[in-house]
Every structure is written in C-alpha cells, then in structure tokens.
C-alpha cells in the first residue's frame, strides 16, 4: 500500500543534542509537510516543501530545519532541542498545494528531550 512512513516511532534525545527525524512516502506526492503536535492540541504546521521549494511558517523557530533530498524523503532537523520541543512530530503529504485529494499522514515520531 502507498503510504507515509516515519522513523523512528520514538526518539529520545538529550537537551541541546541535534536530532533528525525521517519521513518517506511512496505516494509520489508533490508536497510534504512537517507538523508539531503537543498533548491535547491541534497539529501546528512548521513548514512544507512543494517539490524542492521550501516554505517556512513565520512562527517556526530557527532551531527547526528541513531537507528534502528527493521526492520520496523529507527530514526534520532540530539543531538544539529544548524541553519545550518534546512533542509528536507528524509528516504529511498532498498531491498538490491546495489539498485537492486530501492529506495523508504518517504514524508520527514521539520526541522526548531529557
């Protein structure tokens, strides 16, 4: 089945130690998104890629970076994780920028910062 896969499912990192989360997709969708979701809150969009074009949300901290080396893969890099960055990180894809066919989400990566 075509899908969005996130690795790892759980990630524990030390305060200030760089960490990378991974997302891959077999849907061949043009757009890939990274969301942050904290407990009992709605997902918050961090940034997205449309093909190779990167779009950062205005309120996304500089501590968060992303890379999309090819259509299938997208990475979220947190340069210096703080305790406030502990959250569920969700990767999503859509075929086009307006979400004509909806969005497909991965299973998420739960990040713990110690």
Partner 1 sequence: KQEVTQIPAALSVPEGENLVLNCSFTDSAIYNLQWFRQDPGKGLTSLLLIQSSQREQTSGRLNASLDKSSGRSTLYIAASQPGDSATYLCAVRRGSEKLVFGKGMKLTVNP
Is 5 within 8 Å of 104 (Cβ atoms)?
no
Could you say whether residue 45 binds partner 1 (CB under 8 A)? yes
Could you say whether residue 107 binds partner 1 (CB under 8 A)? yes
* Interface residue with partner 1, options 24, 87, 106, 111 (CB under 8 A): 106
Could you say whether residue 40 binds partner 1 (CB under 8 A)? yes
Residue with token string 């899908």: 3
Instruction: Report the run of H or E that residue 53 belongs to, with start and end.
Output: strand 53-56
Could you say whether residue 58 binds partner 1 (CB under 8 A)? no
Is 91 within 8 Å of 3 (Cβ atoms)?
no
How far out from the chain centre does Cα 76 lie?
A: 6
DSSP 12: E
Locate 106 and state its tokens.
């991965």
Stretch that binds partner 1, among 13-21, 40-48, 58-66, 79-87 (CB under 8 A): 40-48
Stretch that binds partner 1, among 11-19, 63-71, 77-85, 100-108 (CB under 8 A): 100-108
Binding residues for partner 1, per CB under 8 A? 6, 40-43, 45, 57, 88, 90, 92, 97-108, 110
């Amino acid at each position: 089945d075509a899908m969005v896969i996130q690795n790892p499912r759980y990630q524990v990192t030390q305060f200030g130690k760089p960490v990378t989360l991974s997302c891959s997709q077999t849907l061949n969708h043009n757009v890939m998104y990274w969301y942050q979701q904290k407990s009992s809150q709605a997902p918050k969009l961090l940034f997205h890629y449309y093909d190779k074009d990167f779009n950062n949300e205005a309120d996304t901290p500089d501590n968060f970076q992303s890379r999309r080396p090819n259509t299938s893969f997208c990475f979220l890099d947190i340069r210096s994780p703080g305790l406030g960055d502990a959250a569920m990180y969700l990767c999503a894809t859509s075929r086009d920028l307006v979400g004509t066919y909806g969005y497909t989400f991965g299973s998420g990566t739960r990040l713990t910062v110690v």
